Amino acid sequence: MKNKKTILKVKNDILSNLTKEQINQLVVDSQKGSKESFVKIYENFYVKVFRYIYVKCSNVQESENLTQEVFIKAFKSISSFKFRENGTSGPSFSSWIFTIARNQIIDYYRKNSSKTESYIDNIQEEYWSVSENLEDELDNKLQFNKIIKNMEKLTSLQKEVINLRFAAQMSLSETAKILNKNENSIKSLQHSAIKKLRDILND
């Protein structure tokens, strides 16, 4: 099994700052059969997808396996991805791949009915990444481990929003697409979740 630090590095996340235009070009090239382009897509998204899954799954090895399955499915179905056309509201590639990840988790727990989805109590901090200026970094991560421990006190949708926005670093619009909600609903869910966590930690 890979070392935890190794999992996170994945070429030091060097491609994580690709622009949407660069990602879209890689998608086009992948759809034309370029395996090298898909490798770059994999390197760009691996860390975020892994974080998203790992926060919801208490086992590093299983999280690795599930993450690999996400990219296998993405590779096999990338030809079906359609870009937004003018005037349409189709998914971005980021929201498309995280929809695959979300469905992978749902399918995993459905097939393993003896297991229940659990936000782990003591996640390593390097697996949790907060976007700049996002709710003032959740009050400097609100005593980091206590956040994770109390995630179970949120509703399922609140947990999903927090995970997508913080661990996966999805934008409001991307999160809305993944969860099939509008952006105002996502803002409301995020606000109520953070308020609840603040209230819990201030008790």
Q: What confidence tier does 20 reach under pLDDT thresholds 50, 70, 90?
A: confident
Instruction: List, in order, residues 6 or more apart from 146 with CB less than 8 Å away.
Output: 200, 201
Pick from 106, 111, 109, 30: nearest CA to 71: 30
Q: Is 33 left (phi over 0), alpha (psi -120 to 50) or beta?
A: left
pLDDT beyond 80 at 149: no
Residue 2 phi/psi, 5-degree rounding, is -65, 150
CA distance 130 to 66: 23
Pick from 69, 118, 131, 58: nearest CA to 97: 69
Pick from 140, 167, 136, 135: nearest CA to 151: 167
158-197 pLDDT per residue, tens = 999 988 988 788 889 999 999 999 999 999 999 999 888 8
Domains of the chain: 1-118 (1.10.1740.10), 121-203 (1.10.10.10)
pTM: predicted TM-score of the whole model, two decimal places = 0.75
110-130 pLDDT per residue, tens = 888 766 555 544 444 444 454
CB distance 106 to 70 below 8 Å: no
Q: What confidence tier does 84 reach under pLDDT thresholds 50, 70, 90?
A: confident
